[in-house]
Structure 1
Amino acid sequence: MTLAGKVAIITGSGRGLGLAYAKELARQGAAVVINDVDEATADAAVREIQDAGGRATGVTAFVGSTETADALVEAAVSTFGRLDIVVTNAGVLRDTVLWKMSDDDFDTVINVHLRGTFTTVRAAASYMRANEIAGRVICIGSPTGQRGNFGQTNYAAAKAGIVGMVRTWALELSRAGITANAVIPVAATAMTATVPYFAAAVEADAAGEPMPDFFRHDLGFGTSDDVAGLIAFLASDASARVTGQAIGIGGDRIQLWSHPEPVATAYREGGWTADALAEGFFDAVGDMQSVGEKFPALPEDLQRPAPTA
């Protein structure tokens, strides 16, 4: 597999998962446009890729606006001559429970994750269609968008919305040969580093040691590099038949998430009145669906004490 001759934009790629994606795409032969809100961070990422023999340029900007999206496409085309791949990874967190979440907490996360994905993909897909490029759209989702998570109303809404947009774009872009997919990564990040449950895995990663098998295999939790291979595959010609999908990856595990489908169907002549539902709802539809992620108990040797205030 090769990405030689391809050009990619990766938003939020100055560090963390985004930088891992950019480095892997560059290693596979693609020229990459690095994006970060901090100029020094973006410049350092560009130098790291160039020092490894890759081609890269940087755009320092907050993702969300049409102006930033247009600047990213312009940087790709003016520097490298074309655009084939867009990876929307940029994100922020403003976690708090519903009754404490401010308008700014909500709007900031929605603007970067959801609107930033929309504006960036719109600009990239418009260029690809106009230039008859069978491009690749790769949007980063989250288990929170699939299952929900306490304290993340804004993030859950944004990540669920991204998967909904991907399914729509797969339909709209198919005639142009452009694929659109969502990746659901499970990896050691700045967010998971604050969760005591993952402490042993995060410690091992920070020390450059292999993560315990419990995390890699049982939980499908790994490093940023474990996710990057899927990004490169979806960016390549080998993935031409894959579109409209939500694909989870982490550690030793890959998963295909289902589209929402009815799990129970029942009919009642004359329809379902409130009284009929009160009498027969549970008989008609059965058990309720679970919400949130359910993790198994940590083995004793991997448990860490909760941090003290």
Structure 2
Amino acid sequence: MNSTHTPLLKEKVIIVTGAGAGLGLAYAKEIARQGGRVVLNDVDAASVEKALEDIRSTPGVEESGGGAVAAIAPVGDSETAELLVRTAVDTFGRLDGLVTNAGILRDRSLLKMSDEDFDAVVRVHLRGTFTCVRAAYEYFKGNNVDGRIVCIGSPTGQRGNFGQTNYAAAKAGIVGMVRTWALEMKRARVGVNAVIPVAATAMTRTVPYFSKAIEAIDEGREIPGFFRHDLGFGTAEDVAGVIAYLCSSEAEGITGQVIGVGGDRLQVWTHPEPVIEQYHDGGWTAADMLSSGGDIIRGNQQSIGEKFPELPEGLKPREENQS
């Protein structure tokens, strides 16, 4: 096992996309604190410069030998993916891992969602993950590196969410790619997993249900236990340790998995499996479906979307408490 005195990612070089702020920055900071050298990617130069300062001033980074360099470019095209790998190799001499976190939102209900809204989200999340993973894997395989890849999914990709056709499609697609890549990369000893984070982000700030948790974070207080334990909802930093672990050699043998993390909770999601199997000699005709098949489906329908329990008194948004 890893010694408590040795940084988990000592001298490992890891690309983190979408790392200018939020979850991506939290991942990059923890990787650097664990001794890793980060290629910090984002599209906004000002955010990246501030992120670099944050990483360099993070306690433990200098002592562990961690560090960071910027690579400012939008993910999606192969040129950006190749730039990120080249930046890692030219700056630090190697590449050991990749975290594909970059993403955007263009939320609209189906009839209001434009082609441009759909294409923009799919391009960054899905195509950006594809091109970056392909470039990193090419380096790993060509240089005999037991690389680690972590692709960021979402509960929306697992269960759906109103107004997020594009985002749900992209995040579900990422999980499908991870399962395929785990098969393709096995012989090269490259581990690839998806992480489903549940944490305070710009998106959750707009959801009244989480308002008391967000208030606590903003005021520097502990998040109420209901959010951390019952919902598995916490800070970006709560997710970062799992990301760092999955990028390390300690995670050898863990691949093709979908791992949920948030607050005090760690999850391993199942791969889709049938909930029931019924057989009919000669196959299922329309008449058979009318007589029994339809009832089999109706009796085993699965839930869609996130189902949150009722908030305890004292944790409800102010307007709910006043009603």
TM range (shorter): over 0.9
Contact 2:234–2:264 at 8 Å: present in 1 too?
yes
Matches of residues 83-94 of structure 1 in structure 2 within 5 Å?
Answer: 83-94=95-106
Instruction: Please report the RMSD computed on the Cα atoms of aligned residues, expressed in angstroms.
Output: 1.1
Counterpart of 1:297 in structure 2 is 310
Q: In the TM superposition, what is the alpha-carbon distance from 1:283 to its structure 2 partner?
A: 4.5
- Name the structure 2 match of 1:40: 46
* Aligned length in residues: 307
Alpha-carbon distance in structure 2 between the residues aligned to 1:43 and 1:259: 39
1:124 Cα offset (Å): 0.5
196 and 129 in structure 1: CA distance in 2 versus 1, 3 angstrom threshold: same
Offset at residue 300 of structure 1 (A): 1.9
- Alignment CA distance shift 1:306-1:65 (3 Å): farther
Aligned amino acid, residue 166 of structure 2: N
Aligned partner letter, 2:67: R
Alignment partner, residue 253 of structure 1: 265
Q: 276-285 or 196-205, which moves further after superposition?
A: 276-285
Q: Distance in 1 between matches of 2:73 and 2:232?
A: 33
TM-score w.r.t. the length of structure 1 is 0.97
**1:123-165 Cα shifts (integer Å, max 9, x gaps):** 0110011000000010000000000000000000000000000
Q: Hey, what's the Cα distance between the residues in 1 that align with 2:318 and 2:57?
A: 41
Contact 2:275 2:300 in 1 (8 A): no
Shift of 1:305: 3.7
Deviation at 1:50, TM superposition (A): 2.1
Match of 1:212 in 2: 224
Q: Percent identity?
A: 62
Please list every run of 5 or more consecutive structure 2 residues that lacks an aligned counterpart in the other structure: 3-7
Q: What do the CA deviations read for 1:41-82 (whole angstroms, capped 9, x no partner)?
A: 111111222234231100111111111111111110000000
Among residues 115, 119, 140, which one is paired with 2:127 in the alignment?
Answer: 115
283-292 vs 218-227, which moves further: 283-292
| Alignment match of 1:162 (pick from 174, 185, 207) | 174
User: Among residues 12, 21, 26, which one is paired with 1:6 in the alignment?
Assistant: 12
Using the TM superposition, give the Cα deviation of residue 284 of structure 1 relative to its aligned residue in structure 2, in angstroms. 3.5
Show structure 1 runs of 4+ deviating over 4 A. none
Report the TM-score, using the length of structure 2 for normalisation: 0.93
Does structure 1 retain, via aligned residues, the 8 Å contact 2:276–2:300? no
Question: Structure 2: which amino acid aligns with 1:47?
Answer: E
5 Å-filtered alignment, 1:126-275, equals 126-275=138-287
* Distance (Å, rounded) in 2 between the aligned partners of 1:59 and 1:237: 25
Does the CA-based 8 Å contact 2:151-2:174 persist in structure 1? yes
Distance in structure 2 (CA, Å) of the matches to 1:195 and 1:284: 36
The one-letter code of the counterpart of 2:35 is G
